[in-house]
Structure 1
Amino acid sequence: MGYKVVVAGATGNVGREMLNILSERMFPVDEIAALASRRSQGTEVSFGDKTIKVKDIEQFDWTGWDIALFAIGSDATKIHAPKAAAAGCVVIDNSSLYRYDPDIPLIVPEVNPDAIQDYRNKMIIANPNCSTAQMVVALKPLHDRARIKRVVVSTYQSVSGAGKEGMDELWDQTKGMYVPGQEVAAKKFQKQIAFNVIPQIDVFLDSGDTKEEWKMVAETKKILDPAIKVTATCVRVPVFVGHSESINIEFEDFLDEDEARDILREAPGILVVDKREPGGYTTPVECVGDFATFVSRIRQDVTVENGLNLWCVSDNLRKGAALNAVQIAELLGNRVLKKG
């Protein structure tokens, strides 16, 4: 006996990945529904070897459905998630709407699986920011060993994190560079993204941080440990898929780089690729389509007493969004609902 599962936002990048991953991981689905806005009604999407038609989320009856994976943005989630929850359907939400609600668990299954029990508070579970998700997967096993005091992270985030419009803008601007008169002005991003990097993701706050940077701080504290100090600089780069992060970690106790490498090799969800030779590391292009969070360039930071540096790469549409949501659904099924 399996679950009746809904994917809301099934025509978007993340929604399509959710459908793919549910099938790839053989999640026990008895019945599936794909939802989107009215303008996408009737659009066909793939689920394994099946083709299903998208339904209008405005007209959908949530009664009798078990789990809903939401990838529809905060405004639409604010309308539809409470309806689903009230009907007894557990919502796993990919937007930022509920991440900072103290009554709603914010979960990365490799890091804080026990928090799943708190879903009963509101029948909603939050999925973290894509940049936070991959980082805390790498930090968790090291924190368990040596206790992290402070993290300094610089991100190199792909345009897919800004949706289809971001990917289209990079593509169109890149083509326009080679055709006189075909230049494409910045619209989705604050400045030209083709052949450029932009040190702003989301809006600026009074502190001078961007909201994306604030999210990484707040979410790491909620998911991993409120005592950890985090400072972030988040940068958009001209890469289609795959987020990269340069992470500097300061520990309470000394942790040798070789032991750290061994710990990460044994940790769930991580693949260590760390050879001190040209190409002995993972780049965003190589992580696309993979479930793992890749860690490379592990080395001591001799400028602090107990420091390490590492490089972390992950497919942001997968671990940063769709995969993590499906893993939460698996955790929910294995620990709580237990129907599959």
Structure 2
Amino acid sequence: TSLRAGNETTDVMVLRYKSKRHQRDIDPDSLWIGVTTSLYSGDYEQTQSKFFEIWLKGESGRIHIDLGKISEDMDGNGQLNTEDIPGAGLSLGNGFLEDAEDTGLDGCFDETEDGWGGCLESGTYNDYLISGETDIINASSDIDSQDPNGDNWNYDQNNFNDYTQVNGTEGNGTGSKIQEGGKYPDTEDLDRSTFLDKTNDYFSTQFMLTDTTYLAGETEKNGEPTGWRLFRVPLSDFKQVKNIEWNEIRYVRLAITGLDSVQKHLEIAKMEIVGNEWQEMGIVGLDISHFDTSGFFGRHFGNIYGMNDEDDDPTFQVAVINTEDNTDYTPPKGVKGEYDRLNEIRSKEQSLVLKFDHLPSKATGIAQKTLYT
């Protein structure tokens, strides 16, 4: 997507959510929906990155962002759920979806689903429903007896705005209508490592969608806000959960809490973990009589300040501001982005921002950019 190129079309992920009937008595803050994706191995290293950026549209609920090593075990059963059933004497399947395997990740077809997300050991859902059983099966009125676990796939090209079953994993690779890419078995193994990752070590942060603390920009059309907003969260604001380093960012998980009986939706257009060619080197004090002078910067400038949670601690950050993401930014007079004559578009004009607060007398914030030949 490029506003500069006049291209206002992009693929948007839409999360639609509300509580189910049997969850209505549960605290909304305890209910959540979420999505997880794996990163390519070349993206694991984020030591030099500075921000997590996300373009989204929606104002209901609290968003949770987790970066790191995140369990692929969606249902918590400790086993790798996959449609790719190994043949006799084999530990892995053949990588192709057979008709009898297209059950979805729950491992069973509709008639033996229990409505809780699992499978019945015997009998069928309708048998238990007719008998009045309400413990073994979920008999809530919002459960479809033809698809108790709600995992069937369907998408009608003639009703292209209906995406209610587009994420289903049962029936997406067989029958008369096949999902693009659906002929491959569905699996919990997001990174295709052939085994189930169950580690939960990550960095985490959260904020209300109505909170403007991390709001970095928003788009307008004809002078009116479109509802699309850019949130830029410093990685330094993420809290460490268990044992994780910034060179081990294998997964990203987004979760929304605050669900109630009214359906809400959140649209997400883009997510990035971003850095800057300018690297923050820290804050140094020139008055060497007051500070430890060990190390390179100590020998030349004085002590490098450590950071803690006090509000009056010195801070120094490097950021950027530009004409594409920040509608309130006015470039310096006479300064414009480069013009591409071939594509007839002008690149965004961007400025470096040095943000500092509570710097003591004679203290210096230092940023460095390495030039290459």
Asked if Structure 1 and Structure 2 have the same fold, meaning a TM-score greater than 0.5 normalized by the shorter chain, the answer is no
Tell me the TM-score normalised to structure 2 length: 0.20
Larger of the two Rg values belongs to structure: 2
Work out which structure has the larger RCO, using CA pairs closer than 8 Å and 6 or more positions apart in sequence. 2
Would you tell me which structure has more helix in proportion to its own residues? 1
Would you tell me which structure has more strand in proportion to its own residues? 2
